[in-house]
Amino acid sequence: MTYTHSLRWPATALLVFACTLLFGQPSACIERASLIGPDTGLLTVDVSQAAGSLDLGLYFVNGEQYVRPFSDVLDATDESSAFSYRADDSRGNEAVETCLAFSAGRNNLPFDVLTFVPLTSGPVTFTYREVAPLVTLSIFRDSFDPAVNNCFNWLASTATITGKLRPSITLDVVGGQVYKLVILPSIPAITDPKPYRVSFTIQDSPRLFSESELAPGRAYTYLALPAGGDVILRQSAAGDFTGLVEGDYTVRGIDYDDALDPATFVSQTTSGIRTDENGNERCITVSTNAIALQVVSATLPVEWAGFTATPDDDGIRLRWSVAAERDNDYFRVERAAPDGQWTDLGEVAGNGDSDRAASFSFYDAQPRAGDNIYRIAQVDFDGTESFSTVATAHWDAAAPEALTTFPNPVSDELTLRAAAEPADQPRIFDMQGRDMNRSVSLTVTGTLAKLDVSRLPAGVYIAQWGGNQARIVKK
């Protein structure tokens, strides 16, 4: 992929990045594969404290190089550098080069800077070609401050003090390290626009990625998932996962349409959020890498020992156990609604302070057909809450009876309800098989029939409608 960009020093230069595509052109919905990281190891959060932001960065994939264009316009009103930089090569080709900074004096030099972070380590060559030697490239570690001498974190420059303007720099990058690629004019003034090209030659495949502006209409947030699982437990644009129970989790970044409410992603899977309720595909990209998150707490109010959800014919039984309790007022049982919001189902009393193991249960008599996702909120006497992991149970709603009757037993008016609208009329038979409809008056509306059975003698009868039968008792 090639990026074009206009720089003005006071005039204009043309900047182009040449990158090899790995994933092809972005889709029409302007989604971009993203990374979070760098993935430098385990992040740990103490849920007994306010975790705040995990300071996660989001990066976008444009190919094997993950880079963004330079700033849109650089002119006399933009920030400028008080120094220019050259490599000291005076001791010969075999000697390690060092940095020399030259003050720009009253004519501060306009500059442009690219921030990049390699995902993996290895050598990278940065090459530029130009009409005339009017720019230099320098690479710095961590940061670049245009107001001071940055030789303390300088790594390499194309310009040398012996007058060379080399076309390339080869650098052994370190995975996870932040680098700044700085472009400065090689002479104080540039009066005409000069096009040049910077390309990246990746040897040993260290993958470069860099912070980038989101595409128009796009937003991002972070998702917390159980380690090895796919159900979204939390989302936070700040990477704040305070409230997760102690355990191991995976964090991913997500690039999504800003018209969507990311709160609705909670309790869904990372694959499930890619389609809406009508089955239409959404423009959503989940990060291609992840970060391990370990949640710890020295002062958890309860020590969770287990949480299960088990379906039966009439509902779902929830059971959970704790090893100990501290200031435990009660448990609140919650179920995820289709929109991702948690709804309260009921409460179960806690034991206050206890060092003994205890078990609790709750019965959901009205689960939804399909997957039901539950969590337990533990509430302290001061109102502080913590949460269990989630438990999921699949419930198949019982098929409606083909013919239902009510009331049954009946005294005067009997109501029949059919599962589908029958083509015939309801019939009442006694236990000897005799048709008793001469003693019954009826009214039928669709799948509902009302029968006046007040003239029937007390006894047991069979109601028949639409090929289905039901036993009724006349009082």
Q: Is the pLDDT of residue 367 over 50?
A: yes
The pLDDT value recorded for residue 31 is 61
Q: CATH number of the domain at 300-395, out of 2.60.40.10, 1.10.3860.10, 3.40.309.10, 2.70.150.10?
A: 2.60.40.10
Q: Which of 144-148, 296-300, 314-318, 379-383 has the lowest mean pLDDT?
A: 296-300
Q: Is the pLDDT of residue 6 over 70?
A: no
Helix H or strand E segment including 413: strand 413-418
Q: Is the pLDDT of residue 237 over 70?
A: yes
DSSP state of 108: P
Residues 399-450: tens digit of each pLDDT: 556 788 888 889 899 999 888 888 888 999 887 778 888 889 989 988 899 9
Q: Which of the four pLDDT bands, split at 50, 70 and 90, describes residue 347?
A: very high
Q: Is the pLDDT of residue 154 over 70?
A: yes
Beta bridge partners of residue 234, listed in sequence order: 224
Distance CA 41, CA 442 (A): 75
Q: Is the pLDDT of residue 7 over 50?
A: no
Residues 258-311: tens digit of each pLDDT: 889 998 999 999 889 988 888 888 888 888 777 778 776 555 567 778 889 999
**How many beta carbons lie within 10 A of that of residue 78, not counting itself?**
14
The pLDDT value recorded for residue 23 is 27
Long-range contacts from 388-392, C-beta under 8 angstroms, 24+ separation: 388/245, 388/304, 388/307, 388/320, 389/226, 389/233, 389/245, 389/247, 389/304, 389/307, 390/226, 390/231, 390/233, 390/267, 390/336, 391/307, 391/308, 391/309, 391/318, 392/231, 392/309
State percent of the chain over pLDDT 90. Answer: 13
Q: CATH number of the domain at 403-474, out of 3.50.50.60, 2.130.10.10, 2.60.40.10, 2.60.120.200?
A: 2.60.40.10
- For 265, the 3-state DSSP assignment is helix
Helix H or strand E segment including 351: strand 342-354
Establish whether domains 300-395 and 403-474 are of one fold.
yes
Residue 36, amino acid: I
Which residues fall within 8 angstroms of residue 186, CB to CB, at 6 or more apart? 84, 133, 134, 135, 136, 159, 165
Q: Which of 20-29, 80-89, 230-239 has the lowest mean pLDDT?
A: 20-29
Residue 229, amino acid: G
Q: Do 5 and 193 meet the contact criterion of CB atoms below 8 Å apart?
A: no
Domain ranges of the chain: 2-30+69-209, 218-295, 300-395, 403-474
Q: Which of the four pLDDT bands, split at 50, 70 and 90, describes residue 209?
A: low
Distance CA 71, CA 57 (A): 19
Distance CA 251, CA 237 (A): 12
Mean pLDDT of the chain: 76
The torsion region of residue 454 among left (phi > 0), alpha (psi -120 to 50) and beta comes to alpha
